A = this chain, B = another copy of it.
C-alpha cells in the first residue's frame, strides 16, 4: 500500500448540535480535526497507510486528539509532545441564508510555537510516497515556514511527491504576508490544490471573470489561473475545487485538474449539505489517492470530486467514504437509494 505523511495542526472543534447558535446551547459536540488530519483520515478510509505529524501539549485533551487519529487508522508515531495548549475552534453551523461561523482560539498552540529541530524529516519521510501540508500550517507561526520548507526539501530528495493545499485563512495572515512566504515553498511542491480565491490571495495569481460571492463560474478563467500557476512554479499538477454557494444549505460542487498542459473538468454535483467543513480536505485526499494509484487525469479529478461530494453529506470534518462508495457515485448512482 502507498504511504502518505501529513503535517499540520490538529484542533479541538466545538459545535452546537443542529442549527443552534452558541448562546442557545449548553453542550458542544466535540471532535478533533485539522486540514491535514482530515486528509490523513480520508486516506486511511481508502486503505492507504497514513501517518500524521504534529505537536501537541502533553495533556489528556491532546491525547484524545491523538487517539482519534489512531481510531481512524492513522499512525501517530512521530507526534511531538510539549508546549502550552491545543488549538481549538468553535463552529456555529449555518443554514439557508445564514452562513456558518467559525471562532478560532488557536493562538499560542503547541504547533504554532514549534521549533525547526523538533521534526526529523529524514526519519519521518523514509519510505513514504506522498507528503501533504497546507498553507494554514505555513501561516501558524514564525518557525513554520522553515519547518515546511525543510520537509519539502527532504521530500524532494527522497522522491516523495509533495502535495500542498493553499487554504488561505485571513485570520492567520494577510495576502501580503502569504505572498511573501509561499512562493519559495510552492516552488518545492509537485501538486498544488486550492481554489481561485486561494490562488489570488496566497500567490497573487488572479482570474479574470470570477466573483466568489456571486458563485459565478467561468471555466476559462479557471484554466487560465491553473496554467499560470503551473508554469510559474513548475508544478506537475494544479487542481481546483469549483464551489457555487447557492445558500448555506445547497451548493454546487465540481473540480478541475490541470496537468500535462491540459485541463480536465469533473461533472458538477448539486449537494444538499450536511457539513461542509472539511470539504476541501476531502478533495485533496481524493487527489492524493488517485495520483498515488496512477489514475489518469480525468479519472483523478472525477474521483477527487466524487469523494469530496460525499464528504458534504457526512457530519463533522472527516471523509469516511470507502473507495467502493466513491466509485459508486463516480459511476453515476447519486440516487441515494437505501443500501440493504
Contact = CB atoms under 8 A, between A and B. Distances in A.
Interface in A82-133: 84-86, 88-90, 92, 94-105, 107-108
Nearest to A336: B248
Contact of A315 (B19, B85, B215, B245): B19
Interface string A231-269: 000000000000001111110000000000000000001
Contact of A94 (B19, B107, B245, B336): B336
A28 interface: yes
Nearest to A251: B336
Nearest to A338: B100
A24 B67 contact: no
Interface in A285-340: 309-310, 312-316, 318, 320-321, 325, 329, 332-340
Interface in A196-243: 212-215
Contacts of A20: 315-316
Nearest to A329: B97
A246 B287 CA distance: 27
A306 to B, nearest CB: 8
A272 interface: yes
Contact of A335 (B28, B88, B213, B318): B213
Contact of A107 (B96, B108, B309): B108
27 contacts: A14-B30, A19-B313, A19-B314, A20-B316, A21-B320, A22-B60, A23-B64, A24-B26, A25-B26, A26-B26, A27-B30, A28-B28, A60-B90, A67-B71, A85-B107, A95-B313, A96-B272, A96-B274, A97-B310, A99-B335, A101-B338, A102-B338, A171-B340, A245-B335, A248-B313, A249-B272, A250-B272
Given A89-B340, A95-B274, 18 more contacts: A19-B274, A21-B320, A22-B64, A25-B30, A26-B31, A28-B28, A67-B73, A70-B71, A85-B105, A94-B336, A95-B272, A97-B271, A100-B338, A104-B340, A169-B340, A171-B340, A247-B272, A248-B337
